[in-house]
Amino acid sequence: MSILHRQSQVYINWSLKEFGITSAEYSFLLYLYRKEKATQDELSSYLYIDKAATARAVKSLEQKGYVTKDKDNADKRFNRICLTDKARKHEAEIRKRIIRWSDFLTEGMDEETTDIILTALEKMVDKVERTNLKNTLEEL
């Protein structure tokens, strides 16, 4: 799994280079394409990324013109992250390039095999999300 992760980072960095988007940033954009105006805390929580790394990624995307930060109307302590026209303009192509990686990985596999792999990975994610990982690590 770590080999696939590292190689996917190489692919993402290469395929999104023309947009100036890195493997550390693209997942934030993908989440915002689904749920615009998320808070930085929501991004951190959903992506399992610490708040400092989220702040760096959002700042970088802001400097590159892909997002803006707006104070939450109800609670000024929170920033809402909004997509810019530039981000919306490139959404289809960014998604297409990311999907291309999944297509590459599953090329030559029948649908049943792909379904088994995805189901197994989803079960692993569900287990980790349900578990208090700190206690589990101490037991191991």
Backbone angles phi, psi at 93, to 5 degrees: -70, -40
3-state secondary structure of 119: helix
Q: Look at residue 50 in the predicted model and tell me its pLDDT.
A: 92
Angle at CA of residue 82, ends 76 and 83, nearest 5°: 170
Domain boundaries, the chain: 2-107
Q: Which CATH number fits domain 2-107: 3.30.300.30, 1.10.3080.10, 2.60.40.10, 1.10.10.10?
A: 1.10.10.10
Per-residue pLDDT of the chain (140 residues; tens, 9 = 90+): 899 999 999 999 999 999 999 999 999 999 999 998 999 999 998 998 999 999 999 999 999 999 999 887 777 778 899 999 999 999 999 999 999 999 999 999 999 999 999 999 999 988 887 776 666 666 66
3-state secondary structure of 23: coil
Q: Which amino acid is at 116?
A: I
Query: How would you label 8-25 residue by residue, b for 16+ Cβ within 10 Å and e otherwise?
Result: beebbeebbeebebbbeb
Q: Look at residue 76 in the predicted model and tell me its pLDDT.
A: 74
Q: Of the candidates 36, 28, 30, which has an alpha carbon nearest to the alpha carbon of residue 59? A: 28
Q: Look at residue 140 in the predicted model and tell me its pLDDT.
A: 66
Distances (CA, A) of 136 to 86, 120, 123, 130: 44, 20, 17, 11
